[in-house]
């Protein structure tokens, strides 16, 4: 008998000139070179979408497909965290990590969820059980940014420059994530046995940055050493999300694809 997965987890734990002007204001600027590339955040905060999912959950594939549709909305910062607590149903998710399970549980206090569950969609730091009705591309006005970001990659090293403003929270924190596109899995067991699942924005590395107290006009440098590629030809992006350290809510985000 199949068990539904949209239930609590186990207790453990985005005239032509005008259009171009609007696009320039909303989208981060990206510069690519032979050996280095940079990206600069826009004046507004982009939509930040987190999906908590699992290949062992039979109610997750529709959410995985919905997240893949965000590729039509390049301004969005999207991340799929594969949790590991449904591995016990007979299929081990190769993207699952206890670190992602722990993150989902830790974020409940900030996003408003009463418990961990899959599929869970979090938009701009808020639990969105109504995600099937969220139109893609994501519309609506975006809040002005209280933090400016620049990402620069040289070789396997990415440096972030976080510039605080007079509107910045009293304390900031951040997290890095590597995401990969175009994964396909033929599931052989468990609730999705016989299904071929496609995944985008799969988080393959996740690292947190401790909180700091910014000063308006001052900058903070963060350094991220890229992990080894799991697959040499797999497209991937470096994502940095900066949050209000006290509320946990995101205040700016930026991605770098190079």
Determine the pLDDT at residue 231: 74
Its sign, for the CA torsion 225, 230, 232, 237, is negative
- Nearest C-alpha neighbor of 67 from the set 55, 49, 85: 49
Which residues, given as ranges, of the chain have pLDDT below 70? 1-7, 10-36
DSSP string, 81-139: EE-STTGGGS---TT--HHHHHHHHHTHHHH--SS-BSSEEEETTEE-TTGGG--SS--
pTM: 0.88
Q: Which of 116, 154, 140, 151 is nearest to 12 (CA)?
A: 116
- The per-residue pLDDT for 81 is 99
Token pair belonging to 24 = 């320039």
Q: Is the bond into 228 cis (omega within 30 degrees of 0)?
A: no
Q: Which two tokens stand for residue 188?
A: 């052989």
- What tokens appear for 51 in the block? 């999906």
Query: CA distances (Å), 107 to each of 13, 42, 110, 162, 249, in order?
Result: 12, 26, 5, 23, 10
pLDDT at 9: 72
Alpha carbon of residue 17 to chain centroid:
31
Q: How far apart are CA 182 and CA 3, in angstroms?
A: 28
CA distance 182 to 180: 7
Contact between residue 150 and residue 158 where contact means Cβ atoms under 8 Å apart: no
């Amino acid at each position: 008998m199949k068990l539904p997965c949209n239930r609590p987890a186990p207790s453990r734990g985005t005239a032509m000139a005008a259009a171009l002007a609007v696009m320039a204001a909303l989208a981060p600027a990206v510069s690519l070179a032979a050996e280095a590339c940079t990206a600069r955040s826009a004046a507004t905060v982009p939509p930040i979408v987190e999906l908590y999912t699992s290949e062992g959950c039979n109610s997750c594939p529709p959410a995985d497909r919905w997240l893949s549709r965000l590729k039509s909305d390049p301004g969005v910062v999207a991340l799929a965290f594969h949790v590991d607590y449904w591995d016990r149903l007979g299929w081990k998710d190769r993207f699952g990590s206890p670190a992602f399970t722990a993150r989902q549980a830790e974020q409940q206090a900030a996003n408003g969820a009463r418990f961990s569950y899959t599929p869970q969609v979090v938009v701009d730091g808020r639990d969105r059980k109504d995600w099937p009705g969220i139109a893609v591309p994501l519309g609506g006005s975006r809040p002005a940014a209280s933090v400016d970001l620049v990402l620069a990659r040289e070789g396997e090293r990415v440096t972030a420059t976080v510039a605080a403003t007079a509107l910045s929270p009293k304390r900031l924190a951040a997290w890095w994530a590597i995401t990969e596109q175009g994964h396909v899995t033929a599931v052989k067991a468990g609730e999705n046995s016989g299904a071929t699942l496609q995944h985008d924005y799969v988080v393959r590395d996740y690292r947190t940055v401790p909180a700091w107290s910014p000063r308006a006009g001052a900058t903070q440098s963060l350094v991220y050493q890229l992990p080894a590629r799991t697959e040499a030809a797999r497209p991937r992006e470096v994502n940095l999300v900066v949050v209000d350290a006290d509320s946990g809510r995101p205040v700016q985000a930026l991605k770098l694809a190079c």
